[in-house]
Amino acid sequence: MNSVSPVTSGLFAALRLARGRADSDVLLPGDRTTVVRSFWAIALCLPTVIIRLLMSWAETGLPSNAAHLAVREAIVFVAGWLVFVEATHRLAPLIGRANRWGRFIAIWNWCNVIEGVLVLVGGIPGMFGAPAIVDQACELVMIGWALWLEWYATRLAFGTGRMTAALLVLLDQSIGILLAALAVMLSP
């Protein structure tokens, strides 16, 4: 099996979930190979992180330390990703889902690619001068869809209830916010 096949099947599963399709095709196996290969999703997400940063600078202007800020953003993004992976690996046995963690993390990784694209697309109307209400509505809808996708994928792949899935999404978002705040505080 070449490396393109796991990427294709992972993205296909995530796209089906984004459309609310919960069938057997979206449940990736939780074996070690599938989990390890699902981390290719990080590389696929980094361009959306950088593009969102560039979109922000299109509004505010290019800072003098743009390269430094871009690298910091990428490091915070990857660190947040890996901290959440480790946190869920430790939480899975506590919530009785250790046997489903591999499946969960594989689909969660691939869903992050789709979520990144959704958030990116949500910011496009503002780039083209759409009225504030249209821009904000698009951003809200796309961020909401991305959060829903993470919640739905978590619920399905981890086999948890609604509240547990919501708390895991909240944990993921909190890790990202905390690391971003720490990075800003520690920057010269």
Query: Is residue 3 helix, strand or coil?
Result: coil
- pLDDT band (50, 70, 90) for residue 101: very high
Closest of 53, 31, 17, 59 to residue 153, by C-alpha: 17
Q: Which residue has the tokens 């800072």?
A: 63
The pLDDT of residue 44: 96
**3-state SS class at 170:** helix
Query: How many domains are contained in the chain?
Result: 1
Which letter does DSSP use for residue 129 in this model?
T
- Which residues form the domain of 135? 4-186
User: Can you give the C-alpha Rg of the chain in angstroms?
Assistant: 17
The residue among 152 and 186 whose pLDDT is bigger is 152
pLDDT at 106 over 80: yes
Q: Is residue 162 over pLDDT 90?
A: yes
Could you say which DSSP state residue 26 is in? G
pLDDT of residue 24: 55
The predicted model scores a pTM of: 0.91
Residue in the block written with tokens 């980094």? 46
Whether 1 has a pLDDT exceeding 70, the answer reads no
Nearest-CA neighbor of 10 among 29, 170, 149, 21? 29
pLDDT band at residue 9 using 50, 70 and 90 as cut-offs:
confident
pLDDT of residue 45: 96
User: Residue holding tokens 């209830």?
Assistant: 161
Q: How far is CA 186 from CA 61, 72, 73, 104, 177, in A?
A: 22, 11, 13, 33, 14
d(CA 20, CA 24): 13
Chain mean pLDDT for the chain: 92
- For residues 150-162, give the mean pLDDT: 94
d(CA 73, CA 14): 24
Rounded Cα distance, 40 and 35, in Å:
10
Q: Is the pLDDT of residue 2 over 80?
A: no
Average pLDDT over residues 5-10: 83
Query: Please, are residues 116 and 48 in contact by the beta-carbon 8 Å criterion?
Result: yes
Q: Which residue has the higher pLDDT, 164 or 27?
A: 164
Q: Select the more confidently predicted residue: 23 or 119.
A: 119
| Dist. CA 30–CA 109, nearest whole Å | 12
Q: What is the pLDDT of residue 23?
A: 74
